[in-house]
Amino acid sequence: MKKIILTGDRPTGRLHVGHYVGSLRRRVELQNSGEYDEIHIMIADAQALTDNADNPEKVKANISEVALDYLSCGLDPEKTNLLVQSYISELTELTFYYSNLVTVSRLQRNPTVKSEIQMRGFHSSIPVGFFTYPISQAADITAFKATTVPVGEDQLPMLEQAREIVRSFNSTYEEVLVEPQALLPENRICSRLPGTDGKAKMSKSLGNCIYLSDDPEDIRKKIMSMFTDPNHIRVEDPGSLEGNMVFIYLDAFCRDELFAEYLPEYQNLQEMKDHYTRGGLGDVKVKKFLYNVLMEELSPIQARRKELEKDVPAVMEILREGSIAAKEIAAKTLDEVKHAMRIDYFV
């Protein structure tokens, strides 16, 4: 069986470091491993509109922003197909057919949908499109017969729901669809990077993000105002790592080699943590180190972005070509789906 990747992001903002450690960095590694037959990365504009119906300009403006983030992180259109969801109308058709296989109560039980409804303050005025977006996500994944979906932890319930739809479709009609597997980051912190405010998830909609393209000065300010241990008042005080955002981010980003360059008095993160908990290591020093660690990763990405920003039409052309190629694949799956559902009268 072919090994196929499908994953993507909502164009609701520029991409942040949570996206990077949760999925983006992995996609680039998988792309360069050469182990996959096809890689499709989708900018999910139709999905973004399910909770931004009144703000189409925002969604539109973020298509090229997300594409710039992709390319600057190393996604290569020669190896990876970059596409825009709304261009592929077949996905909407698949969503419509799959919705017959899902109950309202099953959607209501989806923990990610539940928490996102709460986070967005929808109460009882939930747009139907938003409520049913797990079905559209199943359409996105299955249209490409994806076997592997690299995502953060918040997407696991979506993947489970997609797998159920596949099983239900294949047993009700014919074996057409492929059951996808989620691929989570190996490092648990990276599966759900918390926000700079300490909230459970860094999220574009919560405004608690360090964006990949943030100005270095803004990144410095965001790090300097991060929550640490409120009882760690003087440098000599023993500090706690529990809920300490600076150490949580170091867990996600730090590599031992960076100590030699920026903080040679320690060999690795554990030594630094031990010093902090013993007392004698101040927050400012840890924060400065985190800044260096982050910028080590982000500087080359930001430099590439600056170059790419000079020719945004070329970036849009990459998306156009990728979307055309994706449409062909999705159309083929849709034909198979309609055939299995006995709605292929005129072919």
Is 232 one of the binding residues for ligand ATP (CB under 6 A)? no
Residue with Cβ nearer ligand ATP (210 or 272):
210
Residue with Cβ nearer ligand ATP (17 or 178):
17
Residue with Cβ nearer ligand ATP (86 or 203):
203
Question: Which residues inside 146-185 make contact with ligand ATP, applying CB under 6 A?
Answer: 151-152, 154-155
Give alpha helix (H) positions in the chain: 17-19, 25-33, 45-49, 56-73, 89-98, 104-109, 111-119, 128-131, 133-143, 156-172, 188-191, 216-224, 245-253, 257-262, 269-278, 283-308, 312-340
Nearest distance from residue 202's CB to ligand ATP, in Å? Answer: 4
DSSP, residue by residue, 111-146: HHHHHHHHHTT-TT---HHHHTHHHHHHHHHHHTT-
Tell me the residue nearest to ligand ATP as measured from the CB.
22
Question: Which residues inside 23-52 make contact with ligand ATP, applying CB under 6 A?
Answer: 23
Is 204 one of the binding residues for ligand ATP (CB under 6 A)? yes
Is 22 one of the binding residues for ligand ATP (CB under 6 A)? yes
Nearest distance from residue 75's CB to ligand ATP, in Å? Answer: 14
What is the x/- site pattern for ligand ATP, positions 263-302, by CB under 6 A? Answer: ----------------------------------------
Give how many residues touch ligand ATP by CB under 6 A. 19
Residue with Cβ nearer ligand ATP (12 or 244):
12
Residue with Cβ nearer ligand ATP (18 or 322):
18
DSSP conformational letter for 79:
T
Beta-carbon neighbour count of residue 199 at 10 Å? Answer: 12
Residue with Cβ nearer ligand ATP (137 or 228):
137
Residues in the chain: 347
Instruction: Please identify which residue in 18, 157, 239, 322 interacts with ligand ATP, judged by CB under 6 A.
Output: 18
Whether 169 contacts 98, CB under 8 Å: yes
Measured CA to CA, the distance from residue 250 to residue 241 in angstroms comes to 11
Nearest distance from residue 249's CB to ligand ATP, in Å? Answer: 11
Give the sheet arrangement for strand 81-84, strand by strand.
81-84, 38-43, 4-9, 148-150, 181-183
Give the residues across from 7 on adjacent strands. Answer: 41
